[in-house]
Amino acid sequence: MNPPLRAPALALLLAAVACGPKAPPPVAAAAAPDVSIPHERYELENGLDVILAEDHSVPFVWVNLWYAVGSKDEKEGRTGFAHLFEHLMFQGSEHYNDDYFKPLQAVGARINGTTSFDRTNYFEGVPAEHLPLALFMESDRMGWLLPALTEDRLQNQKDVVRNERRQRYENRPYGMVWVWLFENLYPAGHPYHVPTIGKHEDLEAATLADTREFFETWYLPNNATLTLAGDFDPAEAKALVEKYFGPIPRGPDAQWVTDAPASLSEEKVVRHESQVPHDKVWIAWLSPKMYAPGDAEMDIISGLLAEGKDSRLYKALVKDQQIAKDVQAFQYSAFLQSQFIIEATAAEGHSTDELVAAIDAEIASLLANGPSVEEVELARTSWEVRFFEGLQSISGKANQLSSYNTLVGRPDFIQEDLQRYLDVSPQGVHAAARATLLPGKRVVLHVVPEPAAPQAEKP
């Protein structure tokens, strides 16, 4: 079904792209404050990157392990393996063949794992005296998971993951949105085409041999970063890391997916009826990848468009026109390519087509005239607050160090990361918007409630 034409708004957008920019006066970039996460980085003989960030503010240690593997590195027809291992890693290993949580939770640990397109991470926060236990547990599943991996255990976790897909995607209101968005943003075969949780048929077909091969390819000391942050003595920590992780043999160098360009040549309009309470719309563009030029600018654009009640989209759609209940915008930064997404919920009596027309008008204004100095400063300040809030805990510091080391190759990247945002200018924001928010190169996804079933007539 083709959407009704939105000629006025679309014409504004096209005209805004075609005409020359009307930029505000240049603003000098601010120098980043001297910010760092004190740490020491070294490498074991087996290739494991180890980062130690000593911090005695609390008697706690955070153990954070990143593997350089995500769903983007899976083979076509064998999707969902990185996330499947997020479950298998908690089922037991050769020297502790039982529920991973039991001994750690007994000492007050905080434990979890996450998987994305680009990486997998596991973490335990433990009282300082229990660091040896955390390192033993984490090392045993890196080096000796496979002897404990049985057909029954694999089948059980395949069923768990498939049920999770039903709960999080298929049976949850708006849960399929991320499947629909990414399968339209990226062509079949692209590493980001399938969500991290994978496909039912691929999980169902996964064999014990398949899973063993995936583990032996990716879950290696030379494909991992281990970060300790918190209350420990560095010499003792090094001895413990060597004791538990040193005996794990180095594996073949993993071949990470580092480049997979994608583009949109037209606007794709997708409409779905689903079991949802409200009419909602998502507009998505392909945008600069994580840490690339334009990535920081798109973060700032998301703020000036939709963060706070004085932001452009909130003011226009929610306050002034009252056609939306809410509106959000965000830059979803990723290793191969990012996505810039605007999401809005229609107010009672209004349609998602009205929302798209109003959003297009606001984007056209931004493309034609650029942002004000005040808008950029406010959005940047808001970003800085979140950035520094993330460094207030040892868990945040550990994760940031692991992230920089895995994705950039440098755990000390924090100063340059911050400077990217302090270098953002109104002119740079304007240029990024004009390069990314193109009217003919995007996905527009409308999701509306299913029609009510007709009621049977009373006899």
Q: Read off the pLDDT of residues 50-66 as tens digits, 9 standing for 90 and up.
A: 999 999 999 999 999 99
Please tell me whether residue 338 adopts helix, strand or coil conformation. Answer: strand
Q: Is the same domain home to 294 and 330?
A: yes
Q: CA–CA separation, 102 vs 114, rounded Å?
A: 19
Q: Is residue 12 part of a domain?
A: no
Question: Which strands sit side by side in the sheet containing 267-274, from one edge to the other?
Answer: 267-274, 442-449, 280-287, 338-346, 324-332
Mean pLDDT across the stretch 432-458? 87
Q: Check: CB of residue 133 under 8 Å from CB of residue 126.
A: yes
Q: CA–CA separation, 97 vs 90, rounded Å?
A: 10
Provide the Cα torsion 290, 291, 295, 296; round to 10°: 130
Mean pLDDT across the stretch 225-236? 98
Q: CA–CA separation, 74 vs 82, rounded Å?
A: 8
- The count of structural domains within the chain is 2
pLDDT category at 16 given cuts 50, 70, 90 is very low
Mean pLDDT across the stretch 135-150? 98
Token pair for residue 385?
Answer: 């607050």
Nearest CA to 143 out of 263, 47, 6, 264 is that of 47
Q: Within 50-112, where are the H helices?
A: 81-88, 101-105
Mean pLDDT across the stretch 419-436? 97
Q: Check: CB of residue 390 under 8 Å from CB of residue 39.
A: no
Q: Is the same domain home to 206 and 296?
A: no
At residue 31, the pLDDT reads 62
Q: Is residue 34 part of a domain?
A: no
pLDDT > 90 fraction of the chain, expressed in percent and rounded: 89
Q: Within 314-445, where are the H helices?
A: 352-369, 373-389, 394-407, 414-422, 426-436
Side chain identity at residue 436, one-letter code: T
At residue 455, the pLDDT reads 62
Q: Check: CB of residue 35 under 8 Å from CB of residue 100.
A: no
pTM score, two decimals? 0.90
DSSP 205-267: H--HHHHHHHHHHHSSGGGEEEEEEES--HHHHHHHHHHHHTTSPP-PPP-----------SE
Q: Check: CB of residue 89 under 8 Å from CB of residue 148.
A: no
CA angle 253–258–259, rounded 5-degree value: 145
Q: CA–CA separation, 227 vs 412, rounded Å?
A: 13
Q: Which of 30-34, 207-211, 377-381 has the lowest mean pLDDT?
A: 30-34
Token pair for residue 222?
Answer: 């030379």
Nearest CA to 215 out of 166, 272, 148, 273 is that of 148
What does each C-alpha distance from 33 to 382, 392, 400, 417 come to in angstroms? 16, 16, 18, 12
Q: Is the same domain home to 296 and 348?
A: yes
At residue 15, the pLDDT reads 47
Q: Is residue 289 part of a domain?
A: yes
Q: Is the same domain home to 290 and 421?
A: yes
Q: Is residue 458 part of a domain?
A: no
Q: Check: CB of residue 376 under 8 Å from CB of residue 425.
A: yes
At residue 17, the pLDDT reads 45
Q: Is the same domain home to 166 and 267?
A: no
Q: Is the same domain home to 58 and 135?
A: yes
Q: Is the same domain home to 126 and 232?
A: yes
Q: Is the same domain home to 239 and 269?
A: no
Q: Of the candidates 245, 271, 302, which is a domain's last residue?
A: 245
Q: Is the same domain home to 180 and 130?
A: yes
Tell whether the model's pLDDT for residue 6 goes beyond 60.
no
Q: CA–CA separation, 69 vs 90, rounded Å?
A: 18
Q: Is the same domain home to 181 and 46?
A: yes
Nearest CA to 229 out of 397, 43, 67, 107 is that of 397
Q: Is residue 3 part of a domain?
A: no
Q: What is the CATH number of the domain that holds 419?
A: 3.30.830.10
Side chain identity at residue 443, one-letter code: V
At residue 34, the pLDDT reads 83
Please tell me whether residue 121 adopts helix, strand or coil conformation. Answer: strand
Q: Is the same domain home to 269 and 239?
A: no
Q: Is residue 335 part of a domain?
A: yes
Cβ atoms < 10 Å from Cβ of 128:
14
At residue 33, the pLDDT reads 72
Q: pLDDT for 333-363, tens place per residue?
A: 999 999 999 999 999 999 999 999 999 999 9
Please tell me whether residue 417 adopts helix, strand or coil conformation. Answer: helix
Task: Say if strands 49-54 and 40-43 run parallel, antiparallel, or are unpaired.
Answer: antiparallel
Nearest CA to 227 out of 457, 103, 78, 404 is that of 404
Q: Is the same domain home to 231 and 340?
A: no
Q: Which domain holds residue 190?
A: 40-245
Spatial CB neighbours of 291, under 8 Å, sequence gap ≥ 6: 333, 407, 408, 417, 420
DSSP structure class, residue 147 = G
What does each C-alpha distance from 358 to 29, 309, 316 come to in angstroms? 33, 16, 8
At residue 73, the pLDDT reads 97
Token pair for residue 158?
Answer: 């395949």
Q: Is residue 250 part of a domain?
A: no
Q: CA–CA separation, 422 vs 40, rounded Å?
A: 27
CA angle 183–185–190, rounded 5-degree value: 65
Q: Is residue 49 part of a domain?
A: yes
Side chain identity at residue 227, one-letter code: T
Q: CA–CA separation, 97 vs 93, rounded Å?
A: 5
At residue 457, the pLDDT reads 61
